Amino acid sequence: MKIAVLMSGGIDSTMAALLLKEKGYDISGLTMINWDLKAVEQAVAAADYMGISHQVLDLRKVFYKKVIEYFHCSYEKCLTPNPCVECNRYIKFGALLDYALQQGFDKVGTGHYAQIELDSDSHRYRLKKGLDQSKDQSYFLYGLKQQQLAVSLFPLGRLNKTEVIDMAREAGIKGAENPESQEICFIKDDYREFIQDRVEHRPGRVVDLNGNILGSHRGLPFYTIGQRRGLGISAGRPIYVVALDAENNRLIVGDEADLYHDCLLTENNNFIYQENIDYPVQVQAKIRYASQAAPAQLKKAQDGLLRLTFENPQRAITGGQSAVYYLDDYVLGGGIIVKVLN
């Protein structure tokens, strides 16, 4: 079997390639140019060390269209984007995967901490959490379709990160001790600097939940739900961004208690575990990658949207982020948060 390993230059994708090579597969490395050329150099060096062939594919145009434009357009619409989800959907398991298959490879391998299983009864590929719960990346992969899962391999899915580092050290792989790479590859420090000249924005009023004016803001794209620092106002107590009023260009602030809600609506849902859902369904759901999965009920709403209601209120539910639904350790599916309900 010929496998193209999507190598980013990091320790995880490098070890994915090494593990698949040790299993006897015909391995080649495949790296995309999307933003950071340093990552390409590291991937080339890693492939050379392992003695495997390697290709570099320039995907800067499609990456800009599908990820960068989506990123700054989301902020312009007062949403908080999740670029890693879009990159997986359209770039890594989209353009890059398509190229690999066109080149005659049977499957692609990556360094994701997640698992893929084929259910013999339903004949569906199912996405499962990685064994290392602290590194599990299934949240970012909920958008994958059956045809993408069918030709993907995640050799790190049943390993702990510490095991991967130990194996890399023993194999003499450079970078085993390096710190984790940043979550968003094209953001160095503050996203606000990145979008500064890419979004339309205008100053407006900062108000409390009663409409009282407390100060002014520089432009709504530069604020996110739950933000406390950088508001430029003093209320004599900790205050947080609780809503972005795009229609009136107002930044609404309140107490931490005002950040908690138990219900939201999602759109553009993709389901992996099963195609037809018998609503309502009880799930464990996450409203962002770093949050803990919490008990919730998923059911249909109007206009093709889905309504997710948590047993307990969740902090800082944010439009534009993904809500991912789990059945035990399996990903049922997920969608984009479009509205928070009181």
pLDDT band at 251 (very low <50, low <70, confident <90, very high): very high
Instruction: Give start and end residues of each alpha helix (H) in the chain.
Output: 11-22, 37-50, 60-63, 69-76, 83-87, 96-102, 146-149, 161-171, 191-195
- Mean of pLDDT values over 140-160: 98
Task: Tell which CATH architecture fits domain 201-254.
Answer: Roll (2.30)
Question: Which pLDDT does position 12 carry in this prediction?
Answer: 95
pLDDT band at 182 (very low <50, low <70, confident <90, very high): low
Question: Which pLDDT does position 35 carry in this prediction?
Answer: 78
Domain spans in the chain, listed from the N-terminal domain onward: 2-171, 201-254, 260-341
- Mean of pLDDT values over 185-191: 83
Tell me the two tokens of residue 27.
Answer: 């391995």
Question: Which pLDDT does position 176 carry in this prediction?
Answer: 63
- Mean of pLDDT values over 124-129: 98
- Mean of pLDDT values over 136-155: 98
Could you identify the residue written with the tokens 């093709």?
304
pLDDT band at 185 (very low <50, low <70, confident <90, very high): confident
Question: Which pLDDT does position 180 carry in this prediction?
Answer: 61
Bridge pairing between strands 26-33 and 2-6: parallel
- Share above pLDDT 90 across residues of the chain, in percent, rounded to a whole number: 86
Task: Tell which CATH architecture fits domain 260-341.
Answer: Beta Barrel (2.40)
Q: Give me the long-range contacts of 285-291 (CB less than 8 A, separation at least 24).
A: 285/310, 285/323, 285/324, 285/325, 285/326, 286/139, 286/323, 286/324, 286/326, 287/314, 287/317, 287/318, 287/321, 287/323, 287/337, 288/318, 288/321, 288/322, 289/82, 289/84, 289/139, 289/140
Question: Which pLDDT does position 179 carry in this prediction?
Answer: 55
185 is a catalytic site residue? yes
Question: Which pLDDT does position 173 carry in this prediction?
Answer: 87
Q: Is the pLDDT of residue 181 over 70?
A: no
Lowest mean pLDDT among 60-69, 189-198, 203-212: 189-198
pTM, entire model? 0.94
pLDDT band at 39 (very low <50, low <70, confident <90, very high): confident
Question: Which pLDDT does position 96 carry in this prediction?
Answer: 96
Question: Which pLDDT does position 183 carry in this prediction?
Answer: 67
Tell me the two tokens of residue 61.
Answer: 């145009």
263 is a catalytic site residue? no
* Residue 235 neighbours by CB under 8 Å, 6+ apart: 214, 253
Question: Which pLDDT does position 178 carry in this prediction?
Answer: 61
CATH for 2-171 (3.40.50.620, 3.40.140.10, 1.10.10.10, 3.30.360.10): 3.40.50.620
Q: Is the pLDDT of residue 212 over 60?
A: yes
- Tens-place pLDDT, residues 273-294: 998 999 999 999 999 999 999 9
> What mean pLDDT, rounded, does the chain reach?
94
- Tens-place pLDDT, residues 59-115: 999 999 999 999 999 999 999 999 999 999 999 999 999 999 999 999 999 999 999
